[in-house]
Amino acid sequence: MQNLKIYNTLTRQKEEFKPLSPPYVGMYVCGPTVYNYVHLGNVRTFLTFDVLFRYLTHIDYKVRYVRNITDVGHLVGDGDEGEDKIGKMAKLEKLEPMEIVQRYTNDFHKVLEQFNFLPPSIEPTATGHLVEQIEAVKTLINKGLAYESNGSVYFDINQYNKEGNDYGKLSGRILEDLLNETRELDGQSEKRNPLDFAIWKNASPEHIMQWKSPWGMGFPGWHLECSCMSTKYLGKQFDIHGGGMDLKFPHHECEIAQGVGITGVEPVRYWMHSNMLTVNGQKMSKSLGNSFLPAELFAGSHPLLDQAYSPMTVRFFMLQSQYRSTLDFSNDALRAAQKGYRRLINGLRIVKTLTMDINDKPVERIPKELIDDTKELNGINSLVQNYENLNVAISPVIKIAIDEKKKADIEKTVQAFYEAMNDDLNTAVAIAQLFNLLKYVNMIYMNQLDPRALGEDTFNLLQEKFVVFMEQILGIKEEPLAQGDGILSGMLSLYKEYKSSQRYDKVDEIRNYFKSNGMTIKDMKHRIDWAWEE
């Protein structure tokens, strides 16, 4: 297995990843609250953990990936007061809350499928785990870490800290500062401490989503839901908990307190958080009018967009930044990403077609005096010429010299890809290594490099790893052709026929057709092919 290091938000440093029970890994990621369409901030977070899931699997870990659906308890403003987000949307649209949940869960799944995300191992819902949440509340009350007040139950932060714990350690918040921030807020009177957070909330009669409990009709606290679902499927302590940076406080901070309070142990070994999105240097938000949905990106329908961008272009764009860095959306950046994505996809199409004549294996070395050292040996013709100049009898089978420099560079680049991924999923550096491999793919394709000059093992390494890095680890795939491969092959055949019969008007028609669909015809000496226009 690779020596993976990940940045642990809790310790504020990169740490070597050592799972509790190798090769098994437990990973929990906070899923969406399904009251509206999934936004791009969500997508970036889930992309981070999709890549982590893929990479851990690739390096032979057995991963149980749990990502929940929040379908109750998340209040407007993310605090303990106000309406339930789903309930509020249900009232606005005059629908049952579970209709809202189903509609936006379907949208969530559809968007993630468009971005080529792998499904999690388990996708639990908050409403499906009410029994576990009520039992957790009872446990915290019995341990003196929670108290009932007017039908609601709150976690007692002062008592938690008196027992030697440190509420605020994940986010770096100081209790005194937090108290100053919350002292003026309304709705705090039933709490012993303004910072205490609800683990069960009393429901007013008009609250749509409510259930029976020992404390009256109510609903679970948002923070408690994730604690109960993660421990149910991953145990009281597990390896990785992920989410967006906006969840560090209070959500994940509260999860730590609940976990320690219920089980007596730290619930998570490695906390990971993805960074925020900006648009032209400004924070993405609805109020600024610079927030756009994935569907608007794909259609190019938002006023800030110059054109449409495909799901794989956006995925590639996001992967060009390491997940802990801020990611800025702009038309210039997206167009550059489109060009880069198409270059790599052209390479992916090519690399799957490359072959090497293994019956004529290259020799390890040709005597130096037989090779003209003023030019690079690229193929049979160059070698033949060198032999003829020296009046050396030529064997019927020409042996190709191993190009040790290129061979070593490919092997080094493959290793550099792994080193980048092992360095806290540095996909930006990993993608740079892909472009280095692409250089050799194109050289072989253009007949500038005989694949036998790499040796069979290195050629196979280049071909295999390029596909694996792209499709399996980064999840970047070729998007389906509207025309279908058969139609394009037929048009290329017509192109050859028209060209040989000098019907150049028809040749131009076919070229224009390809161009109008974002493609170009590659008219080479040894073949005619098509590629995505870069």
- Which residue, 228, 226, 208, 227, is CA-closest to 217? 208
CA distance 458 to 454: 6
Strands of the sheet containing 24-29, edge to edge, are 62-67, 24-29, 238-244, 268-274
CB of 2 closer than 8 Å to CB of 418: yes
Q: Write the DSSP string, 381-440.
A: HHHHHHHHHTTPPPPSSPPPBP-HHHHHHHHHHHHHHHHHHHBT--HHHHHHHHHHHHHH
Question: Rg for the chain (alpha carbons), in Å?
Answer: 29
- Which residue, 227, 244, 55, is CA-closest to 124? 227
Cβ burial, residue 142 (10 Å; 0-12/13-18/19+)? exposed
Q: Which residues of 495-527 are buried (b: 16+ CB within 10 A; e: fewer)?
A: beebbeeeeeeebeebbeebeeeebbbeeeeee
Give the alpha-carbon dihedral of 38, 43, 44, 47, to 10 degrees. 160
Binding site as annotated, residues: 30, 226, 251, 255, 286
CA distance 238 to 181: 33
Binding site as annotated, residues for Zn(2+): 30, 226, 251, 255
CA distance 31 to 62: 21
Going by C-beta distance under 8 Å and a sequence separation of 6 or more, which residues neighbour residue 390? Answer: 370
Going by C-beta distance under 8 Å and a sequence separation of 6 or more, which residues neighbour residue 6? Answer: 14, 15, 17, 240, 270, 272, 424, 425
Binding site as annotated, residues for ATP: 286
218-220 and 197-202: which strand pairing? Answer: antiparallel
- Which residue, 236, 260, 79, is CA-closest to 167? 260
Instruction: Determine the residue type at 113.
Output: E
Cβ atoms < 10 Å from Cβ of 70: 22
- Which residue, 40, 41, 109, 35, is CA-closest to 71? 35
Strands of the sheet containing 146-149, edge to edge, are 146-149, 152-155, 197-202, 218-220
